[in-house]
Amino acid sequence: MGTLMTGQTTAAKSFRDNIRSYNSALSFASMGARIEVPEGHGPYVYKIHGTIHHLTSNMHPENGRRSFPQMYVLDSSIAAEERMQISANRNCSALVMKNLDEEIRQINPFAGAFKMMNEYEDQIKHTYGSEAACSVRMYIQDTKPNAEQHSARYNAPRANEIAIVFASSDGAPPSNRDICIHPKGKSLINIHQLNPNCDPMSYVLLFPHGDKGWTTTDRTKYSQLQFYSFRLSVREEFSPIFYAGKLLQQYIVDAYVKVESSRLDYLRNNQKDLRVESYLGLMDHVHSLAAEAGVQAGVPVILPSTFIGSPRAMQQNFQDAMTIVREYGKPSLFITFTCNPKWPEIKSNLLPGQHGNNRPDIVARVFDRKKKNYC
């Protein structure tokens, strides 16, 4: 995988051009969003609209179409053939897809977990019949398994670093487990954005060893924003994140949306601590309008001016600008500050064969530094 990330051969360049397709085909979960398709011949820019969701699937599909972890119960050659039949993978190489599949099976703990579940399911079928296999469950856990917690309640547990497979007599799941994989089912399984397994399941090419992401247990140590800033810090050792190109852009956008969503959740759940009683007049007005329209008003959520992009933040910025105009008069010049991807500070920090659009992290940091120096 490292050779494909850093190489300058035709196969390596083709891999990086289609890295998002490879990652989607090989991952254990998908990142879903309304993606805006770039137009023209300019640099590639990853844009989304609306919300982001992460989904995985059950062990066996009911419609016969396999996806995500279901491929890892097949032979590598068969799995590669099925992946190549998907239209989104038409520009991928079948040989590269097969080699990556084999490598992930060897080093990724999620691949081992699904293989373990498949073997245990076959064992239950052989011993007790097909109906008994329906009681098999696999829970992908946030922390390492605690054998004492469920030793008296669950039958024949099998565990690795990231998952536990068991046959439950009462169907009750273990506590603090929130991703349950069934042998068969219709619906996709939603992965919460704060689950530490969300990143390694969605970006298998960036975290082939299953490195866990940020979780709420880390809240007292560092914030979610600090965690992603740490992951995007450049170090001397090799990191596939900085060689991922288009996939790096997707990962950064995904991380930003997670941080922004967490901020909104905090504001929604801590309205009493934000002195929203000062907005009681506004709430009374909303309820009055709802009563006149004959509808029931929802729960109002006040976004303070500290939340960038909120109406109050925009209004505050407008008032600040008008204060400057009142003090110093109308401006005679309107100056814009545009980033040049060929700035020496950017080019000197690019890896061999990279362009500015491959490293939005460097471009953003250099632009911010220059803006602070000149403004």
Q: What is the pLDDT of residue 167?
A: 67
Q: Do 119 and 149 belong to one domain?
A: yes
Q: Do 115 and 103 belong to one domain?
A: no
Which residues are registered as beta bridge partners of 39?
none
Which residues are registered as beta bridge partners of 163?
140
Let me know if residue 143 belongs to a domain: yes
Q: Do 89 and 8 belong to one domain?
A: yes
- Say how many domains are in the chain: 4
The ranges of the chain with pLDDT < 70 are: 62-67, 132-133, 143-161, 166-178, 185-186, 275-287, 297-299
Q: Do 120 and 144 belong to one domain?
A: yes
Burial (Cβ within 10 Å: 0-12, 13-18, ≥19) of residue 178: middle
How many other C-beta atoms lie within 10 A of the C-beta of residue 175?
A: 9
Q: What is the pLDDT of residue 205?
A: 94
Q: Do 323 and 176 belong to one domain?
A: no
Let me know if residue 102 belongs to a domain: yes
Which run of H or E residues covers position 98? helix 94-107
Q: Do 102 and 8 belong to one domain?
A: yes
Which residue segment(s) compose the domain that 320 sits in? Answer: 302-332
Q: What is the pLDDT of residue 156?
A: 46
Let me know if residue 289 belongs to a domain: no
Let me know if residue 140 belongs to a domain: yes
Q: Do 96 and 9 belong to one domain?
A: yes
Q: Which of 189, 216, 242 is the last residue of a domain?
A: 189
Q: 220-223: long-range contacts at Cβ-Cβ below 8 A with a sequence spacing of 24 or more?
A: none
Q: Do 311 and 207 belong to one domain?
A: no
With CA atoms as reference, report the closest residue to 93 among 3, 21, 7. 21
Q: What is the pLDDT of residue 42?
A: 79
Q: Do 7 and 143 belong to one domain?
A: no
Q: Give the pTM.
A: 0.83
Q: Do 227 and 364 belong to one domain?
A: no
Q: What is the pLDDT of residue 153?
A: 43
DSSP letter at 69 equals G
In angstroms, the CA 145 to CA 95 distance is 37
Let me know if residue 275 belongs to a domain: no
Q: Which residue has the tokens 């799995």?
A: 79
Let me know if residue 87 belongs to a domain: yes
